[in-house]
Amino acid sequence: METQFQSALERLRASNRSRDEGAVAEVLKDLELTTVEAGDWPAGFFDELEELLKDPSFLSLRNSWNLLYFINNNWEQLSPHDREQLRRVLAIAFDKYGDWMGAFVTSEILGEHYADEATLAILADLGKSARLPARAAVPHGLETLARVTQQESVRGLAINQLQELQKSDSEAVRQEALISLKKLGQ
């Protein structure tokens, strides 16, 4: 089984080198089946996935965001240390994907799996500094965080941040903030 994981990593790297957009999703679909059959990921496998998420060339592939779905679908494979590492990598990669879905899925993962003040700060910063169109996905992350968090104070801060984003210089960000606030009953 370990060789199947290694083979998948090699195929992902080859897709990056050849700029084969379609192969990324195909490899990750095969990898999902491999994970189901094998159970646990081999040691060091997440580190290799993380390296792909740090590679601007890989991220620029239109289908690179599928790697985020794969990781999210296999969340139980990540150790607490891996999860903390991933949070930092997600923040850095946020606006570097070749398709807007990368930022959207990233904002959802941040809001769902890291519903705390540290992620609130990350999303607030991205709401000011991320490139468009990725920045327009920040409200979705704040909405998800506000919905998931068990801490009322964090929920209130997320809503305040959405209200701030309604004043953005970007029409797309303002619209997304308005939609998220409505979904939260604000």
What pLDDT is attached to residue 129? 94
Alpha helices in 19-137 (DSSP H): 21-38, 45-54, 56-59, 66-73, 80-93, 100-113, 117-129
> What mean pLDDT is predicted for residues 161-184?
96
Contacts 24+ apart (CB under 8 A), 119-127: 119/87, 119/145, 120/145, 120/154, 120/157, 120/158, 120/161, 122/87, 122/91, 123/158, 123/161, 124/161, 124/164, 125/91, 126/91, 126/94, 126/95, 127/161, 127/164, 127/165, 127/168, 127/173
72-112 per-position pLDDT tens digit: 999 999 999 999 999 999 999 999 999 999 999 999 999 99
What pLDDT is attached to residue 1? 47
Pair of tokens at residue 27: 């490899």
Indicate the helix (H) or strand (E) that contains 164. helix 152-165
> Does the CA dihedral 94-98-99-101 come out positive or negative?
negative
What pLDDT is attached to residue 124? 96
Q: pTM for this structure?
A: 0.91
Helix axes 138-148, 152-165, angle to 10 degrees: 160
6-36 per-position pLDDT tens digit: 888 999 999 999 998 889 988 988 888 877 7
What pLDDT is attached to residue 2? 64
Distances (CA, A) of 39 to 16, 36, 148: 27, 6, 28
Q: Residues 25, 64: contact at Cβ < 8 Å? A: no
> What mean pLDDT is predicted for residues 47-52?
95
- Phi and psi angles of residue 161, each rounded to the nearest 5 degrees, phi first: -65, -40
110-157 per-position pLDDT tens digit: 999 999 999 999 999 999 999 999 999 999 999 999 999 999 999 999
Residue 176, pLDDT above cutoff 70: yes
